[in-house]
Amino acid sequence: MQTLDFQKMENIERSSARKRIFYRWLLFIILGIFALYYLAPLYVMIITSLKTMEEIRQGNLMTLPREIIFDSWITAWSGRGGIDAGNVFLRPFFWNSLKMVVPAVAISTFFGALNGYALTKWRFKGDNIIFLLFLFGCFIPYQAILLPMSRTLGFLGISNSISGLVLVHTVYGLSFTTLFFRNYYISIPDEMIKAARIDGAGFFKIFFKVLIPISAPIAVVTVIWQFTNIWNDFLFGSSFSFGEAAPIQVALNNMVLTSTSVKEYNVDMAAAFIAGIPTLLVYILAGKYFIRGLTAGSVKG
């Protein structure tokens, strides 16, 4: 009897081990397929940007370049030197975008934190209604505010300027940043604020000395979110700016659409890649905090 049971247990053990290995491999294969699927366009972009136009015309979309040439990257970044109308290149617009994204992210993140703090730690009558209005702001479609916003910018005298775009993105981003910080701060015990009040700290002192130093996880999430959205925005950029004041996404569009005579796929691809580098960098540098911050508050630390 005993040996029989032993045999049986061993069989069960072996078959469950086999199953485990099978599912593991299945998982890897499925994940691998998805990774390839999502990486394929990037691959095509990069190899195309490194080919000459001649090679692009002859060859296959997926083949590697015969010779790696960075000319198209240089063209995309700083142009060919001529000053004809069709010669659009990214460098000035890259700086435009940077000048827009840095203040817009900083201001919207700061005020989001301040709002979240006030909404959770200094409760007042109707605070929930105000929070609801903020939430509502997250769901307003971009297109709906184009007209009123352009009138506002005109009234303020900052239409077609970087500062105008900073304002638009700050205002539009506030709903999201407030939501993020509010959800983070609600998990921080009120007693900490009470202790600080008894210690003699006021509204701003508590905010800067007690809360800001522990807000890194959610600040990272907010910065990534805002940076990606503002950097990649095309609609606001194209609606509220043109010519020299345009951000990079608008310039990229102009570049691709206004090239004279032939389409230079290699330059277009290089330009598209350059326009995407900053967001990629932000994700790579801060990505691991992103997931951590998104789930913050759900589990008691």
Partner 1 sequence: MATLKVINLTKSFGNTKVLKQINLKVNDGEFIVLLGPSGCGKSTLLNMIAGLETVDDGEILIDEYVVNRVEPKDRNIAMVFQSYALYPAMTVRNNVIFGLKQRKISKEHIEKSLNHFSKMLKIDQLLDRKPAQLSGGQRQRVAMGRALVREPQIFLFDEPLSNLDAKLRVEMRHEINKLHESLGTTMIYVTHDQVEAMSLATRIAVMNEGIIQQIGTPQEIYDKPNSIFVADFIGSPAINLIQGKFYKDGTISCFIPEQQKENVKISLNDYSFISEPKEGQEIILGFRPEHLNLPDTSLNSQMAVSLKPSLIELTGYEKEVSFEFYGNEITGRLPRHINIELGKPISLSIDLSEISIFDKSSTMRI
- Contact status: 151 vs partner 1 (CB under 8 A): no
Cβ burial of 17 (10 Å; 0-12, 13-18, 19+) is exposed
- Contact status: 213 vs partner 1 (CB under 8 A): yes
Which one of residues 3, 5, 191, 261 is an interface residue with partner 1 (CB under 8 A)? 191
- Contact status: 195 vs partner 1 (CB under 8 A): yes
- Contact status: 200 vs partner 1 (CB under 8 A): yes
- Contact status: 209 vs partner 1 (CB under 8 A): yes
Which one of residues 189, 243, 260, 284 is an interface residue with partner 1 (CB under 8 A)? 189
- Contact status: 243 vs partner 1 (CB under 8 A): no
- The answer to whether 92 and 255 have CB atoms below 8 angstroms apart is no
Segment near partner 1 (CB under 8 A); pick from 21-29, 67-75, 205-213, 282-290: 205-213
Q: Under DSSP, is residue 53 helix (H, G, I), strand (E, B) or coil?
A: helix
Cβ burial of 256 (10 Å; 0-12, 13-18, 19+) is middle
Q: Output 19 or 194, the one with its CB closest to partner 1.
A: 194
Counting residues that bind partner 1 (by CB under 8 A) gives 16
Q: Output 81 or 189, the one with its CB closest to partner 1.
A: 189
Rounded to a whole number of angstroms, the minimum distance from the CB of residue 236 to partner 1 is 36
The Cα–Cα gap between 199 and 20 comes to 57
CB neighbours of residue 43 within 10 Å: 13
**Among candidate residues 216, 289, 270, 256, the one with its CA nearest the CA of residue 86:** 256
Rounded to a whole number of angstroms, the minimum distance from the CB of residue 129 to partner 1 is 15
Which one of residues 205, 263, 288, 292 is an interface residue with partner 1 (CB under 8 A)? 205
Cα atoms in the 13 Å half-sphere on the side-chain side of 118: 14
